[in-house]
Structure formats: structure tokens, C-alpha cells
């Protein structure tokens, strides 16, 4: 896939590097950051000259509107290396488009695709040695934008900052993941911002998740805001349910993020001949399938974990365990995606983009 760029980038190199102090074989997720970051400011009604700078603190006035009205959005992506050292991205244009969907919903300026892609590509060229190659690892990419304009008036800011930062990371989850079906709290509501990757969406998840952890679970399964009868997402991920040999996921809406991994799984499942259904799923259907033995798999899907198998769930004080299968749809689909991402397999969908 060819991408053209047009905007010059000012580059200031870091005087020293932290890379020699990093154990790339034992990486936590999102705890270590590379030497440089991409920065571009929106001021006077237009995007200014983009820059690549040494990774550093960002200074803001106390009156900056990000602190008061929460105009903050982000994306999650990864970069990979193949065995020859070539660098690849996975569906980055989709991330840029989704970032702009989030920006529009929060009354923030949309980002020209060439600014985004050119900045990301040039930053990767500089930081390519930061891409880990051990199994399950990748260079996690965090583009984010927030309001820098000042004032206490409740209105959109007049200036914003776009940043792209990198974090070499290991697997997001390790071990069994047990989830609690949420009966009281909601992640989002109709007409809200649940479909956007807005920071406040995730802040609102922390407290119910904390309560679930106190009961021995790692995450929650969110249910609809009105009746709590339908499952919607698994923590910060889209959810997939396998009943017998059919793979189910719920439709996107105002409340549910249009996940890039979700879309990839559906397409690959179709290519693999796995029957899929995109429809509403009742909690009662999940319980019934678990009790009659037709519930075979439950997993979350997202950029960070790709596929995160769920070993069991809780509801109304009762635990339900998933069967331990030798050959799972989740493992099969994860391998197909990661093999495309790391250039170990053909990419018939045109998702993989070579950077350098």
C-alpha cells in the first residue's frame, strides 16, 4: 500500500539514549518509553509545523482546558519487525480515521492524514531499534490529542496538541482472565461518546473494575445502560462469544467502540470458514449456553492483547467456568493476525504497511 507525504518535519535528536538500560526480554506493558516523540500543535485555526523531539515533560498552564473539560482522545497501535529487520504497521489508516471520528465527537480539530502518517513513519525510522522482537512483544504506539487552550469558560479550546509516543511492550495480559458481568454501572449510554476513544470513557471504567478485582476478577463485562440484559464489551476490549461452532460479537453503536482488531477478526474468521454472527447477545443466553455446554469460548479483542481468552465469568454471585479446549478459535485467529502483523504470512487484505 503506497502512502504519500507532504509536510516537512523539524527533528531534534536526543543527546543520549536510554535503550542500553532496557531488558527487551522482560518488558512490562507501557512502562518504558523510547527516546523521541512526535508533537504537532493546532493554533490560530491550523496545524503548525510538526516536530520530532526528545521524549520530555509537557508544560501546561493551570487554566488549560484539558484539566477542566476533558477534551482528550487517543489511539492504540503497534509496530513490528520481521526476521529481516523490516518495520511494519497494521492498518494505521484505520487508526487515523478513528482518531478523527473521536476528535469530531469532542469538538476537536481533525488531523490531516499526511501529518499523522508522515510523523508516525519518520518517528519509527528514528526509533526502529526500540521495536522488540521476542514472542508476544511489539512497539506500542500511543497517538493522543488534548486541549491546550486556556480559560474557565465551558466551551471548546482554541488550541490543541497532538503527540505520538512509543513504548516497547510485552504481553498485555498473562495467565487466566476471569471477568464479572456488570449489573449496576455502565460504560456508556446512547447518544454519548462510547464509540470514541475519549480519555473519560476509560476513567469511568476504573471504579467498577476496582470493585470487580476486590471480588477476585480481573475485568468486567459491560452490559447495556438501560436494562443490563445485553453484554457489550469486555473491559476495554470488544467481546467475542463462541457458542458451539459459531462466533458471535455484538454490533457497534453509540456505546461500543468500532475496534480495528474486532473488524480484523471478523474478516479473518470469514476467510477461515468460521461462521460468524453480529447481533445482540443477552446475558441470559450466555448463562444458558454455559449451563448446557454449548459455550465453548469467550474472549476480548483489542490492539494491546490482540486476543485475550477469558477462563470464566461471574454473575449474581455464581461463577461459570469455560471449558479448556486444545484448539480454540481465539488462538487460531490470534496467530493468523500476528503472523500478518509480523510478516510471517501473506496479507491478502492489504492491512500490513512496510515503513522501512
**Angle formed by the axes of helices 113-127 and 92-105, to 10°?**
130
Nearest partner of 233 among 219, 243, 247, 245, judged by Cα: 219
State residue 1's pLDDT score.
32
Q: Tally Cβ neighbours within 10 Å of residue 239.
A: 26
Q: Which three cell numbers stand for residue 78?
A: 503497534
Instruction: Report the DSSP beta bridge partners of residue 179.
Output: 219, 313
Which fold, 178-341? D-amino Acid Aminotransferase; Chain A, domain 2 (3.20.10)
Secondary structure, 3-state, 273-336:
CCEEEECCEEHHHHHHHHHHCCEEEEEEEECCCEEEECCEEEECCEEEECCCCCCCHHHHHHHH
CA distance 339 to 347: 9
State residue 135's pLDDT score.
87
CA distance 19 to 205: 33
State residue 7's pLDDT score.
58
Say how many Å lie between the first and final Cα of the chain, rounded: 13
CATH pick for 10-171 out of 1.10.3720.10, 3.20.20.70, 3.30.470.10, 3.40.50.2300? 3.30.470.10
How does DSSP classify residue 64?
Answer: B
CA distance 235 to 238: 8
State residue 171's pLDDT score.
84
pLDDT tens track for 25-82: 999 999 999 999 999 999 999 999 999 999 999 999 999 999 999 999 999 999 999 9
**Could you state, in order of their start, the residue ranges of all structural domains in the chain?**
10-171, 178-341
State residue 136's pLDDT score.
87
pLDDT tens track for 91-117: 999 999 999 999 999 999 999 999 899
Q: What parts of the chain have a pLDDT lower than 50?
A: 1-6
Amino acid at each position: 500500500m503506497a502512502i504519500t507525504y507532504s509536510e516537512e518535519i523539524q527533528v531534534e535528536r536526543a543527546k543520549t539514549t536510554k535503550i542500553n538500560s532496557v531488558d527487551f526480554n522482560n518488558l512490562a506493558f507501557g512502562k518504558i518509553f523510547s527516546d523521541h516523540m512526535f508533537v504537532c500543535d493546532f493554533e490560530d485555526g491550523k496545524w503548525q509545523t510538526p516536530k520530532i523531539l526528545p521524549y520530555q515533560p509537557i508544560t501546561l498552564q493551570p487554566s488549560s482546558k484539558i484539566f477542566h473539560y476533558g477534551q482528550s482522545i487517543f489511539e492504540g497501535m503497534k509496530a513490528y519487525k520481521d526476521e529481516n529487520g523490516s518495520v511494519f504497521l497494521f492498518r494505521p489508516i484505520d487508526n487515523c480515521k478513528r482518531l478523527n471520528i473521536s476528535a469530531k465527537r469532542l469538538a476537536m480539530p481533525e488531523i490531516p492524514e499526511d501529518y499523522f502518517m508522515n510523523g508516525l513513519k519518520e518517528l519509527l525510522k528514528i526509533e526502529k531499534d526500540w521495536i522488540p522482537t521476542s514472542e508476544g512483544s511489539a512497539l506500542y504506539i500511543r497517538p493522543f490529542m488534548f486541549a491546550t487552550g486556556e480559560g474557565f469558560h465551558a466551551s471548546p479550546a482554541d488550541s490543541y496538541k497532538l503527540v505520538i509516543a512509543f513504548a516497547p511492550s510485552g504481553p498485555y495480559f498473562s495467565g487466566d482472565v476471569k471477568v464479572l458481568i456488570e449489573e449496576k454501572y455502565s460504560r456508556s449510554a446512547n447518544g454519548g461518546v462510547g464509540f470514541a476513544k475519549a480519555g473519560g470513557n476509560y476513567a469511568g471504567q476504573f471504579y467498577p473494575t476496582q470493585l470487580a478485582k476486590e471480588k477476585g476478577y480481573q475485568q468486567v463485562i459491560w452490559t447495556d445502560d438501560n436494562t443490563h440484559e445485553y453484554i457489550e464489551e469486555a473491559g476495554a476490549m470488544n467481546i467475542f462469544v463462541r457458542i458451539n461452532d459459531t462466533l458471535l460479537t455484538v454490533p457497534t453503536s453509540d456505546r461500543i467502540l468500532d475496534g480495528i482488531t474486532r473488524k480484523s477478526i471478523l474478516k479473518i474468521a470469514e476467510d477461515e470458514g468460521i461462521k460468524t454472527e453480529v447481533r445482540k447477545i443477552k446475558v441470559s443466553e450466555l448463562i444458558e449456553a454455559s449451563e448446557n455446554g454449548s459455550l465453548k469460548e469467550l474472549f476480548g479483542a483489542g490492539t494491546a492483547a490482540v486476543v485475550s481468552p477469558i477462563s470464566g465469568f461471574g454473575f449474581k454471585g455464581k461463577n461459570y467456568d469455560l471449558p479448556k479446549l486444545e484448539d480454540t478459535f481465539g488462538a487460531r485467529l490470534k496467530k493468523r493476525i500476528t503472523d500478518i502483523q509480523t510478516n510471517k504470512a501473506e496479507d491478502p487484505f492489504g492491512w500490513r504497511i512496510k515503513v522501512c
